[in-house]
Amino acid sequence: MAILKIARMGHPILATPAAPVPDPTAPEIRRLVNDMVETMIDANGAGLAAPQVHVPLRIVVFQAPGERSADPGLGEETFDHTAPLTVLINPEIAVMDQAIEGGWEGCLSVPGLRGWVERPAHIRYRGLGLDGKLIERTARGFHARVVQHECDHLEGRLYPGRMTDLSRLVFESEIRHFMAPA
């Protein structure tokens, strides 16, 4: 396995829609996914999409482990913080409820910044695993946010493009100014 170089905002691969994976069970896809997981963990990320490691394919990996609890200081969602390490190939998302939830997002391709992004709070997602079998789940809170964030990368979109108020795009070191006093 290897730690892969992460593309940063401004690189053309992050603005280009990714291509479908014809065979999720191919050995080269398994190698790529293993490297993506290692890279995500090394970078302390909650998710990673193949375009972020310079591969224009529709693959995402993510996790929302219970020990990565919501940080009230960052305004993160407190509901549904548990999703196992998941590989989704050729994913699709359906919005289950039109209710929108805002939260602070960061991105390995936009290092050092956080932005307030509003997204649907309840989704259903589906895609194929490395074995070619269907994975289908519903998600809320952080789980839903991370899936939508990673799938946006497959469409050539970064979270700043989802923001409605760019005055809430801030350096991580300054986010404390946006928090309500305790």
Q: Cite the active site residues.
A: 150
Which bin fits 93, alpha (ψ -120 to 50), beta or left (φ > 0)?
beta
Backbone dihedral angles phi then psi of residue 13, each to the nearest 5 degrees: -65, -25
C-alpha separations of 148 from 28, 104, 109, 124, 173 in Å: 25, 14, 15, 10, 25
- For residue 152, give the H/E element and its range: helix 141-154
For residues 58 and 86, give the distance between their C-alpha atoms in angstroms, rounded to a whole number: 14
CA 99 to chain centre: 20
- In sequence order, the 6+-apart residues with CB closer than 8 A to the CB of 91 are 58, 60, 125, 126, 127, 147, 151, 154
Query: Which residue in the block uniquely carries the two structure tokens 């259903």?
Result: 124
